[in-house]
Amino acid sequence: MNKVVDNYILLDKLGAGQFAEVFKGKDRLNDMHVAVKVYSLQKFLSTPKLKEMILNEIKALQDLNSTNIIHFYKMLKTTNNIYLVYEYCDSHTLEDYIISKKFLSEKEALQLMKQLSNAFKEILMKNIIHRDIKPSNILLTSTGVLKVGDFGLCKFLDPAQEQLEKLETIINHAIEKTVIVGSPIYMAPELLKGQPINKKVDLYSLGIVFYEMLFGVCPFEDSNVENLIYKIEKGSLNFPLERNGISLKTQNFIREMLRPDPYLRIEWDKFFGFFEETMVFPGKVEYLMTNEENNRNNNNNKNNFLGERAVSFLDELPKMKEIGLFPPNSGIFLFIYDNNFLNHRKK
């Protein structure tokens, strides 16, 4: 018989980690599926670092609101356990997806990175540093929607702060035995060394994730943290183009994200702008039109169906600019046709 906690029925076990088991559950009030993390109450109360991680995640997710960030519903407590109830993603992690495909096409990787950029606009606005971005902490739904999760290692910046001046080193002794907190191969070198950090640590991790999407491996790997830091800071960043011939533009973008010195690393505004300029959207490409072509069609009275639809959507352009789907001052028209975003080009 399935266990019932409050209004939730625990169904299939989805996985287990060092401290928690994860179940698929169902809300008896509305039949909605949820994900439920189960922690031992005794371990929660006796392990300060675990308690901090759980409360960190709850605080962050209660403050964040984005289609591309996992939703947290509630925390429940019984005599023996703590239960955290989340939005359920009906597919798999990004890690599983990369493994199943070996590597992703540049177009698909860009589309997923666009969704990650949407998530981080919200994370950045709320002055949160995630600190643990990796494919296993990114979920995908069956419809291709990406969701960032696992905020247990996140830190909160005061709006006036530029960086966290003091931070525990990556080797942490608080959880029963010496463990590495997080996954070093995805972490910025300043975080690995326990130096003061700012929001750019997440930019570095996103660069590693982007690289792994494209090639199926991480650019720098070593089981020894000191050796890993040396490879990041002294090694060269190589792209196995024989495996996946990505564009020079994307190569250069990843190089900017993976600069070891955070002060030379790409700025967040430039990161967000890259995806607005690249204009990668799901959907079928129906027509390519610049403003010059649109004017020429109007002047020649070419009242074909697409031309008429293009003119009818001109009033929507200011709205599109406001939500960041249209590069300002680019001189390019963005049109919608049959609910698809149209790809487009500069002359």
281 Cβ contact partners less than 8 Å away, ≥ 6 residues apart: 111, 114, 325, 340, 341, 343
C-alpha span between 299 and 215 (Å, rounded): 48
C-alpha span between 28 and 31 (Å, rounded): 5
C-alpha span between 282 and 76 (Å, rounded): 38
Burial of 71 from C-beta contacts in 10 A (0-12 / 13-18 / 19+): middle
291 phi/psi in degrees, rounded to 5? -60, -35
Nearest to 109 by CA among 228, 222, 239, 232: 239
Q: What is the DSSP string of 81-137?
A: EEEEEEEPPSSEEHHHHHHHHSS--HHHHHHHHHHHHHHHHHHHHTTEE-----GGG
Contact 80, 43 (CB under 8 A): no
Catalytic residue among 132, 202, 222, 261: 132
> CA torsion sign, 161 to 166 to 171 to 176?
negative
Active site residue 158: no
C-alpha span between 7 and 326 (Å, rounded): 44
C-alpha span between 217 and 244 (Å, rounded): 12
Beta bridge pairs of residue 179: 172
Classify residue 267 by its DSSP letter: P
> Tokens 């011939």 belong to which residue?
245
Indicate which residues carry an active-site annotation.
Answer: 132
